[in-house]
Structure 1
């Protein structure tokens, strides 16, 4: 019995089961079937994974509680939209059902778009954000500064997440000396918020790290929903460790970004925030090393100069002894010259004092003699009454004045003798010095003034010595 062939029609062509189709032919045929079957349809859904390409085309997903469909809106159609679409917007679109042949993806080609009301996920996010912000959980005043010296970094993320590997690679490249501790937790799904809260609690209770990174890679708004959980946000707000949030891409925002002490646009950026650049640190270290070496060299040069100066000032004991001998010889010469110059002076002062004393005594005697003569004259005359009394008083005053004059003269003489004794060369001789004269009576002030065999007269305190020079020894 001959087998019956299967036949189906696609457009104006009929194909049998025995014919082989290419993938491109199959996708084109399926696309025509979809376009012919549905034509232009109106669809209501929530915007998700919205992307604006550099070409001006929009790529997004329309979804509801149980399904999702990809959609594209080309630049010419997107230019006619009178609002700025955002994640979570509930929109109503007029689209053609088609198939993207290159990948075989079922998609909508949107020609019109208008708002149909905000989506449930976005509304819940907006309400919770407003509530937490009103409580002050996002205030900058309650946020901590990152410590200046970080030695240990804690990471809260999934062990299977690509973002964790990016963070570890960045830390290893920039600062391999840092210690890293991972606190594993799911970052997506219903169990994710509870595991994230537990991991943060473990890091805080163990106090092993200086800063805590909460990281996850990019994804749709729904994929990041775990980081919008109210319990997680409140746990991060009460964490004693400085927290850096690196969730999603730069355009993604979650509530953990608002409550964290520092928000990083990506997980890699979060790792860069807490790790000093190794190359920059090495450059700084090298610069400081050069400065230290230059400072030490300058210090050594300065000390070497001080040593040279001290060496020039330092003399050997022999040199110091020679200098002291020269100084002693100079002082001895000055002393001899001073004695020679001052020797006639005491004699002259003694003579002057003697002359003054003689003049004073002569004056006193003459005055006394005159007074005596006047007294004798008065005595010769008969004295009676008040005159006799005045004469007696005059005699008494004369006797007192004469005694006082003699006493004052004796005191001046004693002072003169004491002064002469202090400045007399004989007092110097009493301390062991001597006065040397040659045979002509001339004083000798230097050894060079004497010759071998010359007779000299040496005057001591209590006598004189006649000596002969055996040898002349200069200092």
Structure 2
């Protein structure tokens, strides 16, 4: 390869292929710059699903692409983020397939916090102390919005992603786009004014504030204090979906709800039409089953009532039979009662007859009274010569007492 390179400033005569040139430059760089430490600020960090880290290392004068492969990145005991000042031990090389100058990072350590990231942390702490990020101040996004507003740039790829997602999930929901720059000088103030305008117009049930990924500088409009305060002052719930899943802005903390990406934000606020139709079918089937069950219960109850229902003629016949039975039972009971009364009456009559003085007289006894009509029981009560009246079983006689005594034999 050395023979193909220019000597002493004179152009060589050999013609190099692009691959040969790229390989030659890579070898020169790697020989000239062995492993060395490079200081700079991380920007545009892009972790890959493979575990490799891709980012830009920059300072005020220049920037260079960097890659840290999975085996090296796994040894980091801290999480790289945009805005961090770091020192990277790297191999200077050329990525031949694209002819891109880059650093292959073997190790990396934190050197401090970058200026932008330091501003980010200061503002975050300030607004957090004010209670701007308090969970109790957050509002839930409506489950079934009647209209959705999107605050973003008309040229943003995020807008296409959001509109495509909303159309796919529920095309019946109207969408209003509030165009605003999302990057560059004054973008933060313009976003804040557009949020205030959308709140005054009150056309939507929820607002999506979205933007695609980028470096910390690209996303800085969403780290402006004016944007955070506009989100909290907005009378409509605001869902923020800025950058990629690893990107975090002040707007994310101030939002009523944070989505990792614009597409996720659209999915969060749009109920799937297919899911809603499925739910409606489920509810309809449940309602049909409930109605069917109620009808079955009603028919069973009607059958039970029908069994209890008796024709008037049958009811009269049963009542007539019952009346005959009751009459017979009443007559029988009355006869038994009368027989009992007759027996007791005969017994009483016999008892009374036994006590009848006439009956006693009929057995040969008599009753003697003195002149005053008092029944005599003791001879001493009789005076000699007194007129006495004796009642017999049949008739009476009057006599005069000739003498008296106590000897019953005389």
| TM-score relative to the length of structure 1 | 0.61
1:301 corresponding residue in structure 2: 296
Report the CA distance between 1:254 and its aligned residue: 0.7
Q: Please state whether the residue corresponding to 1:183 is helix, strand or coil.
A: strand
Q: Which structure 1 segments of 5+ residues have no match? A: 1-8, 382-475
Indicate which of 254, 258, 273 corresponds to 2:253: 258
Q: Deviations over 1:347-400 (max 9, x none)?
A: 55555565666677759x99997992359989877xxxxxxxxxxxxxxxxxxx
User: Which is worse superposed, 256-265 or 41-50?
Assistant: 41-50
Q: Please state whether the residue corresponding to 1:223 is helix, strand or coil.
A: coil
2:264 corresponding residue in structure 1: 269
Report the CA distance between 1:147 and its aligned residue: 4.5
Q: Which structure 2 segments of 5+ residues have no match? A: 361-365, 384-410
Report the CA distance between 1:249 and its aligned residue: 0.9
Q: 1:217 and 1:321, CA in 2 relative to 1: closer, same or farther beyond 3 A?
A: same
1:162 aligns with 2:164: no
| RCO comparison, higher one (Cα < 8 Å, 6+) | 2
Report the CA distance between 1:252 and its aligned residue: 0.9
Aligned length: 369
CA distance in 2, matches of 1:367, 1:167: 139
1:49 aligns with 2:44: yes
1:11 aligns with 2:6: yes
Aligned 1:262-411 pairs, distance under 5 A: 262-338=257-333, 340-342=335-337, 344=339, 347-348=342-343, 351=346, 372-373=374-375
Report the CA distance between 1:189 and its aligned residue: 1.7
Kindly indicate whether the alpha-carbon contact (under 8 Å) linking 1:34 and 1:97 is maintained by their aligned counterparts in 2: no
CA distance in 2, matches of 1:367, 1:223: 151
1:196 corresponding residue in structure 2: 191
1:102 aligns with 2:104: no
Q: 1:368 and 1:83, CA in 2 relative to 1: closer, same or farther beyond 3 A?
A: farther
Structure holding more helix per residue: 1
Please report the RMSD computed on the Cα atoms of aligned residues, expressed in angstroms.
4.6
Q: 1:198 and 1:372, CA in 2 relative to 1: closer, same or farther beyond 3 A?
A: farther
2:388 corresponding residue in structure 1: none
Q: Deviations over 1:104-130 (max 9, x none)?
A: 445456678666543221221122122
Q: Deviations over 1:204-247 (max 9, x none)?
A: 33444443332222111111111100111122234443332221
Kindly indicate whether the alpha-carbon contact (under 8 Å) linking 2:144 and 2:271 is maintained by their aligned counterparts in 1: no
2:54 corresponding residue in structure 1: 59
User: Which is worse superposed, 206-215 or 117-126?
Assistant: 206-215
Kindly indicate whether the alpha-carbon contact (under 8 Å) linking 2:45 and 2:53 is maintained by their aligned counterparts in 1: yes
